Amino acid sequence: MNTVKAIELFNSWQGEGQNLGKFITFLRFKACKLPFHKTLCPFCDTRLKMKMNTEFEVTKEQLLSALNSTNYSLCITGGEPGLYLNQIKEILDNFKLNHLEIETNGLNLRQLGDMLISYKEKHPDCYISINLSPKFWDESSLVNYIDLLDKIKMQIVNLINVKLVVSIENKELTDKFLMIMRKNELHIKYSNKIFLMPMGTNMSQIMENSSACIDLAAKYFLNITARIHILYNFI
Ligand code: SF4
């Protein structure tokens, strides 16, 4: 395997989303870029790690050893995995996984999706989820994300789970996003695949934003996800 550089490799439980509670190997890339904004998210909870942690070379043996303890379950996160397509391909070419999650803001989603479709063809038993978390804080990026979700091919849609981070501040914009999804009948394509998660890096922020999250989940019949790594205090 050629060099794969990352800032973290560790085993833990998936803290959020549709596979919450699953024991899994996490591989974290360093840098992030958003598809529809020039700046990074103002509420980013990994900004410090991205800035402070030094990249190191992950060897095949290191990754194998971590995966051996999680029944070959891998979550590639960031930063933004869409910036690291060559490195992801390197991993996919060298490992037969049982479970694969990729956490992305949607950067290079089509290329990422095509790569995962090929992997699924080679390894049909592997569960794959693209955990897509749209990051919008203005009308134009919101519309761009709707367009992306609308136009992406069905084979990729089948791999996507959408996670929306909700706060008191962005409730109105998220409501608008969900309303447009419903208007464009996208909620049918993505039904049961949308998870609302309260924003927050500590218990009190999560509790503060949870009512906004619950209101929208009730209004649009959507799933809620917690952040159990914060609630239970593990990494
Ligand atoms: S997409 Fe995620 S990692 Fe990137 S800036 Fe936003 S919150 Fe941070």
Cβ–Cβ under 8 Å, residues 216 and 174: yes
Distance CA 215, CA 233 (A): 26
Going from the Cα of 227 to the center of ligand 1, the distance in angstroms, rounded, reads 16
pLDDT digits (tens, 9 = 90+) for 70-104: 999 999 999 999 999 999 999 999 999 999 999 99
Range of the domain at 58: 4-165+185-192
Using a pLDDT cut of 90, give the percent of the chain over it.
92
Going from the Cα of 104 to the center of ligand 1, the distance in angstroms, rounded, reads 9
**Nearest residue by C-alpha to atom 1 in ligand 1:** 105
Does position 2 have pLDDT exceeding 90, yes or no?
no
Instruction: Say if 221 falls within a structural domain.
Output: no
The pTM of the full predicted model, rounded to 2 decimals, is 0.96
Average confidence score pLDDT of the chain? 96
Here the tokens at position 3 are 């060099």
Reading phi first (left if > 0) and then psi (alpha if -120 to 50, else beta), residue 85 is in alpha
Report the number of distinct structural domains present in the chain: 1
User: Which is the closest atom of ligand 1 to the Cα of 43?
Assistant: 7
Q: What is the pLDDT of residue 131?
A: 98
Q: Report cis status (omega within 30 of 0) of the bond before 79.
A: yes
Q: What is the pLDDT of residue 233?
A: 86
pLDDT digits (tens, 9 = 90+) for 176-233: 999 999 999 998 899 899 999 999 999 999 999 999 999 999 999 999 998 999 988 8
Q: What is the CATH number of the domain that holds 24?
A: 3.20.20
Going from the Cα of 37 to the center of ligand 1, the distance in angstroms, rounded, reads 11
Instruction: Say if 105 falls within a structural domain.
Output: yes
Q: What is the pLDDT of residue 140?
A: 95
Instruction: Say if 225 falls within a structural domain.
Output: no
User: Which is the closest atom of ligand 1 to the Cα of 34?
Assistant: 1
Cβ–Cβ under 8 Å, residues 197 and 161: no
Q: What is the pLDDT of residue 235?
A: 76
Is the Cα dihedral 133, 139, 141, 145 positive or negative? positive
Q: Cα separations (Å) of 188 from 89, 92, 166, 170?
A: 31, 31, 21, 24
Lowest mean pLDDT among 104-108, 145-149, 198-202: 198-202
Average pLDDT value for residue range 17-46: 95
Instruction: Say if 227 falls within a structural domain.
Output: no
Instruction: Say if 216 falls within a structural domain.
Output: no
Instruction: Say if 34 falls within a structural domain.
Output: yes
Instruction: Say if 136 falls within a structural domain.
Output: yes
Going from the Cα of 47 to the center of ligand 1, the distance in angstroms, rounded, reads 7
Here the tokens at position 210 are 């949870």
Instruction: Say if 233 falls within a structural domain.
Output: no
